[in-house]
Amino acid sequence: MVAQPIDHCRKLFMKHESHEGNLLEKTESQPKVDDVDIFTAARLLQYLMLFFIIYMCRREYHKSETRKEEIKPEQEELQKKLEELQNKLGRRKAQFKSAWRNAPLYADWRKEEFEAVKLTLDAASAHPALRLSEKGRQVAWQERPQDLPSSTQRFDSLPCVLGQLNITSGRCYWEVEVGDTCSWDLGICRDNITRKGVVTMSPQNGFWAIRLYEGEYWALTSPETLLILREIPLSVGIFLDYEAGDVSFYNMTDGSHIFTFPQNTFYGILRPLFRLWSSDSGLLTIVKVEEN
């Protein structure tokens, strides 16, 4: 009778120990509450950062798209104005090319209608006070006149020199660098002009030229014509249309028209003309024509 309760108690104690052991195993196998919280917070932070980056990227994208939409009308307006300007320029050029003799504008356009000629200076015609460069493209004044043989071709009163070019037909042009040269004459003349004694340079005497003297520009008409230029030329272009009797001068610095002589009737040979006035005049240089 006594053994039964003792056995019963022993069984209950062993069952209780077994139950506590199972609970302990389950408890140790599960993660701690603190570990679970830290892990969850880290993952949540990663998601938040990713979301923030995506949000900022999309915001910048929408900003750029909005800016593009704002700029697009402005670009279209500018493009439209540019096209209108190009069309206007094209129409003016077409008008010029169809009647360029009556539209003395834009040296670059006129050059398309004329032939650029290779030109050097004719030493046989040079006044003794003028010095030519070895290549014959530059003329300067020298203090002591050269002792040169007398010649019917040489100027002895006007300090001039002619170009080695005989023009009898066609349309041609050449350019002369004047730089800061303070006094000069440039143009064309007949080959048979008077080269001895006092000569008045005018169309009646076979000269078609312009002049810079004491800061003023003149066309050597009869009487002379004062010229008002919008910009001082560093280079002058001389354009000659023999058959049309047209002689025009252009400021090659800004492409503007300087002067056109009234229409003439040319005959015989025409020559390029260069003149310096004094020892402090400076230099005149023929612009070299580039080989094609």
Tell me the residue range of the domain where 157 lies: 105-286
Does residue 81 lie within any of the structural domains? no
Structure tokens at 190: 């007949």
Report how far residue 218's alpha carbon sits from residue 183's, in angstroms, rounded to the nearest whole number.
Answer: 11
Q: How far apart, in whole angstroms, are the C-alpha atoms of residue 146 and residue 141?
A: 11
Residue 16 has pLDDT above 50, yes or no: no
Q: Examine residue 125 and state whether it is found in any structural domain, yes or no.
A: yes
Dihedrals phi, psi of 218, to nearest 5 degrees: -135, 145
Q: Is residue 72 part of a domain?
A: no
| Any domain includes 217 | yes
> What does the pLDDT read at residue 126?
93
pLDDT in tens, 82-116: 888 777 777 766 665 555 555 566 677 788 889 99
Residue 161: partners with Cβ closer than 8 Å, 6 or more residues away: 121, 122, 123, 125, 126, 127, 130, 132, 139, 155, 274, 275
What is the pLDDT of the chain when averaged over all its residues? 82
User: How many domains does one find in the chain?
Assistant: 1
Quote the tokens at residue 279: 């020892």
Largest CA distance in the chain: 173
For residues 203 and 90, which has the higher predicted lDDT (pLDDT)?
Answer: 203
Q: What is the CATH number of the domain that holds 184?
A: 2.60.120.920
Per the model's pLDDT, the better-predicted residue between 275 and 46 turns out to be 275
SS (H, E, C) 139-206: EEECCCCCCCCCCCCCCCCCCEEEECCCECCCEEEEEEECCCCCCEEEEEEECCCCCCCCCCCCHHHC
Counting residues of the chain whose pLDDT is more than 90, the rounded percentage is 49
Per-residue pLDDT band at 55 (split at 50, 70, 90): confident
Using pLDDT thresholds of 50, 70 and 90, give the confidence band for residue 170.
very high
Q: Is the pLDDT of residue 260 over 80?
A: yes
Give the pLDDT confidence of 112-148 residue by residue, as tens digits.
Answer: 889 999 999 999 999 999 999 999 999 999 877 777 7
**Nearest CA-CA partner of 210 in 189, 191, 192:** 189
Residue 12, in any domain of the structure: no
Decide if 2 is inside a domain.
Answer: no
Note whether residue 88 is domain-resident. Answer: no
pLDDT tens digits, 210-238? 999 999 999 999 999 999 998 999 999 99
Contact (CB, 8 A) for 234 and 283? no
Lowest mean pLDDT among 14-23, 136-145, 196-205, 271-280: 14-23
Rounded CA-CA distance 139/187 in Å is 15
Per-residue pLDDT at 252: 94
Q: What are phi and psi for residue 191, nearest 5 degrees? A: -70, -25
For residue 78, being part of any structural domain is answered with: no
